[in-house]
Amino acid sequence: MNATSHPRPTVDIIIDIPAAGIVLIRRRNPPHGWAIPGGFIDYGESAADAARREAAEETCLKVTLRELFHVYSDPSRDPRGHTVSVVYIAQAEGTPRAADDAAAIGIFNEASLPAPIAFDHARILSDYFNYRRTGRRPSP
């Protein structure tokens, strides 16, 4: 990495479908695996707008952002390079459909998570389910 390299900002959206579970996509492009919907923030776009856009592009769902959950910035979280992810918790109703970078889509609960899970999303999901049980957010 040279002196002008910087982490790339991204968003991930934990989409809760009431009484069903959370939405995960199976990635069409490397790194393959199941993932929380999300992607890169475009220049001139806010993180919240990017989250709503990425959710719509990958799941065909219009989401309502409920909470800013946490920020994940481990330099090794993405094998393609250093990213910083702003993770939102959102709610949506309807039936998700795989689109854009999603090869498949599913609704899962903690006991039914698919494998493999891409990036650091297994950690994010573990933190999320722990938060739902205890009300405690991950430590900075």
Q: CATH number of the domain that 95 lies in?
A: 3.90.79.10
Kindly state whether residue 128 falls inside one of the protein's structural domains.
no
Asked if the bond preceding 31 is cis, omega within 30° of 0, the reply is: yes
Kindly state whether residue 121 falls inside one of the protein's structural domains.
no
Split at pLDDT 50, 70, 90, the class of 131 is very high
For the chain, the average pLDDT equals 95
Q: 123: closest CA among 56, 76, 58, 67?
A: 76
What is the residue range of 86's domain? 18-106
Q: Do 122 and 130 contact (CB within 8 A), yes or no?
A: no
Kindly state whether residue 116 falls inside one of the protein's structural domains.
no
Kindly state whether residue 46 falls inside one of the protein's structural domains.
yes
Kindly state whether residue 80 falls inside one of the protein's structural domains.
yes
- Whether the predicted pLDDT of 2 surpasses 80: no
Kindly state whether residue 12 falls inside one of the protein's structural domains.
no
**Counted domains in the chain:** 1
Res 15: pLDDT: 98
Kindly state whether residue 90 falls inside one of the protein's structural domains.
yes
Kindly state whether residue 134 falls inside one of the protein's structural domains.
no
- Whether the predicted pLDDT of 111 surpasses 90: yes
Res 94: pLDDT: 85
Res 22: pLDDT: 97
Q: Taking the model in full, what pTM does it have?
A: 0.94
